C-alpha cells in the first residue's frame, strides 16, 4: 500500500476498508483480517492497525468478538455512507464551490454539468 503524507496512516487504512464497504466488497457480519494479518498485508506496525480498528469500533463500523476476530457491524454500509458524506461536505464541497465561483460557473451550468456527468 502506498501511503500519502498528508493523512495519518491509520486513517488511510480505514479509508480502504470504508471504500470496500461502499463498493459492497464486504457486508454486515463479514469477518475482516486480524490486526496481525492486516499489518502484514499493508506492511505497517500492528499498533497502527490497532489504532485503525479502534477508530472503526468507535464509529460503530466494526466490532470485536474476543478470541474470534473483527466483524462488520449491522448497518456498516449506512454508517460508512454517512461518514463519507459528512467528509465530502466538510472537506471537498467547499473548495469545489469556491472554484466554481472563481470560474464563473453558474448554478444552471453546474446542474447541466452534473446531469451530463452522472448519466
7-61 pLDDT per residue, tens? 999 999 999 999 999 999 999 999 999 999 999 999 999 999 999 999 999 999 9
Nearest to 30 by CA among 84, 83, 69: 69
Q: For residue 77, what are the CA distances in angstroms to 5, 47, 94, 105, 107?
A: 27, 26, 25, 34, 31
Which pLDDT band holds residue 3 (cuts at 50, 70, 90)? confident
For the chain, what are the domain ranges? 1-119
66-98 pLDDT tens trace: 999 999 999 999 999 999 999 999 999 999 999
Nearest to 16 by CA among 29, 2, 30: 2
What CATH number should be reported for the domain whose range is 1-119? Answer: 1.10.10.10
16-26 pLDDT tens trace: 999 999 999 99
**Residues 60/5, Cβ–Cβ less than 8 Å:** no
**Residues contacting residue 49 through CB under 8 Å, at least 6 positions apart:** 10, 13, 35, 38, 39, 42
Beta bridge partners of 71: 31, 63
The Cα 4–Cα 78 span in angstroms is 27
pTM of the model: 0.84
Amino acid at each position: 500500500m502506498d501511503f500519502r503524507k498528508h493523512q495519518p496512516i491509520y486513517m488511510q487504512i480505514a479509508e480502504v476498508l470504508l471504500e470496500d464497504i461502499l463498493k459492497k466488497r464486504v457486508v454486515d457480519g463479514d469477518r475482516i483480517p486480524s490486526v496481525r494479518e492486516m499489518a502484514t498485508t499493508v506492511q505497517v506496525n500492528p499498533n497502527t492497525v490497532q489504532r485503525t480498528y479502534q477508530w472503526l469500533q468507535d464509529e460503530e463500523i466494526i466490532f470485536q468478538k474476543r478470541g474470534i476476530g473483527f466483524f462488520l457491524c449491522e448497518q456498516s454500509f449506512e454508517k460508512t455512507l454517512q461518514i463519507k458524506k459528512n467528509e465530502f461536505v466538510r472537506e471537498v464541497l467547499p473548495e469545489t464551490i469556491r472554484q466554481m465561483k472563481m470560474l464563473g460557473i453558474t448554478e444552471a451550468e453546474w446542474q447541466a454539468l452534473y446531469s451530463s456527468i452522472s448519466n
